[in-house]
Amino acid sequence: MRLTTHTLTLMGVAVTINIVAALINKWFRLPIYLDCIGTLLVAVLQGPLAGAITGLVTNLLLGIMANPISAVFAPVSMVIGLSAGSLAWIGGFSRWWLALLSGCLISVALMIVAVPINIYMFGGVSGSGSDFFLAWLLHGGKSLYASVSVTVFSSNVVDKTLTALLVWLLIERLPLRIEAQYPFLRHSRRLTP
């Protein structure tokens, strides 16, 4: 993939959407993050590499703006962009139910990267309410790795499936003059001739 000026500007806008989505989420008071909507959008419009770079830049900027710990999880955001772009390439965002399935698969992919980082850097603990769920799983005899995996997956799956569904809806409603600018979109949507 060539990083054209158009792709660069799109990635800049998508990073901004990721950051502003946190503000929008506060208005709706939903128990989800919505912080990777721009990453998924770029992945569907421009492919996995652009999606991965968008995720990486989002977390690095959040790291220097709001929460330094975000930077530690930059590889997780990269994997979200990579997996979303790869799924879009095989048509994972062409139907609403495929978008839901893609959301679940993205959660599995991010879990594979997030769990080792979480355990090695933070002992598997997040300091949030999900630690009670982690404690309950550990008390039930599960290993630390299995418990953290279940906790990470369950706290992300709803967010990522809803985000994937929202991205599917966004690309379905794209005006014709915009969709023509993104050839990669043909994998997710039959382009209008």
Partner 1 sequence: MSNSFLYRDGSSALHRLDPGIKLCLLAWVVCSLFVFPWQVLLVADAVLLAWSWSVQLGRFISLRLLVMAGPFALALLWIHGTLLPAADRQSFPVLSWHLNYSPTGIGYALVIASRFITLLCASLLFVVTTHPLALLRSLEEMGVPASLSYLLTSPLLLIEQFSRRSHSIRDSQQTRGMNIQGSWLTRLKSLPSLFVPLVTLALSDTGERARVLEARGFRSLTRQRHEPSAEARRRGAWRKTILAVAVLQVVIKLCL
Q: Which of 181, 183, 186, 191 binds partner 1 (CB under 8 A)?
A: 181
Residue with tokens 């990453």: 39
Q: Cα angle vertex 162, ends 68, 133, to 5°?
A: 60
Q: Which is nearer to partner 1, 78 or 109 (CB)?
A: 78
| Residue 123 Cβ vs partner 1, minimum distance, rounded to whole Å | 4
Residues 79-118 that bind partner 1 (CB under 8 A): none
Q: Which is nearer to partner 1, 104 or 108 (CB)?
A: 104
Verify binding: residue 23, partner 1, rule CB under 8 A. yes
Q: What is the DSSP string of 52-107?
A: HHHHHHHHHHHHHHT-GGGGGGHHHHHHHHHHHHHHHHTTTTSSHHHHHHHHHHHH
Residue type, 178: I
The interface region with partner 1, picked from 12-20, 83-91, 107-115, 185-193 by CB under 8 A, is: 12-20
Residues 140-159 that bind partner 1 (CB under 8 A): 144
Q: Which is nearer to partner 1, 108 or 144 (CB)?
A: 144
Supply the angle between the helices 74-89 and 96-122 in degrees, to the nearest 10: 160
Segment holding 24, helix H or strand E: helix 5-28
- Contact between 74 and 60 (Cβ < 8 Å): yes
Verify binding: residue 1, partner 1, rule CB under 8 A. no
Residue ranges that bind partner 1, judged by CB under 8 A: 3-6, 8-13, 15-17, 19-20, 23-24, 27-31, 37, 41, 53, 57, 60-61, 63-69, 71-72, 121-128, 131, 134-135, 138-139, 144, 162, 166, 169-170, 173-175, 178, 181
